[in-house]
A = this chain, B = another copy of it.
């Protein structure tokens, strides 16, 4: 738990690898062989909905969504970004940013609510998270 009283939900901790911390959000990655998949978690305690953040932090979250989206698109050269705050299972506010390709297994369906992630090659995943970390200026973190 940080000095702000925030700590990452254990389910998010179990399911992801750390990329690093932006000013507001912790950036996480899911090792899914089919979908390059990042998650932003605003480091504010007790926040379940975007509206719980307040206006200033919500604007900051949007700026970080845009920043991470650009980097994910740049790294993956994907056809489409899918962005969502769902949180029906894990109540801590978290925003999925998933890179989609027209030839991926579920296209054009969303990835949420489908089969659990199929873990890919560990070295490839580490190259992916390293590239994201580097382009976000978080190199050396994590």
Report A's interface with B, CB cutoff 8 A.
Answer: 48-51, 55, 58-59, 61-63, 65-66, 69-70, 73, 80-89, 100, 106-110, 112-114
| Measured CA separation A48–B79 after assembly (Å) | 11
Nearest-neighbour CB distance to chain B for A47, whole angstroms, equals 13
Contact status A80-B87, CB under 8 Å: yes
Contact B73 A66 (CB under 8 A): no
How distant is the Cα of A104 from the Cα of B115 in the complex, in angstroms?
21
How many copies the complex holds: the figure is 2
Known A51-B69, A63-B59, A66-B50: A83·B84 in contact at CB below 8 Å: yes
Q: Is the CB of A80 within 8 A of B88?
A: yes
Main secondary structure, interface of A, reads mixed
Q: CA of A137 to CA of B109 in the docked complex: distance in angstroms?
A: 35
Supposing A51-B66, A66-B50, A69-B49 touch, asked if A86 and B61 sit within 8 A by C-beta, the answer is no
Q: A88-B110, A113-B114 are in contact. List 11 more A-B contacts (CB 8 A).
A: A49-B80, A50-B62, A50-B69, A51-B70, A58-B63, A62-B62, A80-B88, A88-B107, A88-B109, A109-B113, A110-B113
Chain B residues with CB below 8 A from A84, complex form: 82-86, 110
Nearest 6 pairs between A and B by C-beta?
Answer: A88-B108, A84-B84, A62-B62, A109-B113, A110-B112, A83-B85
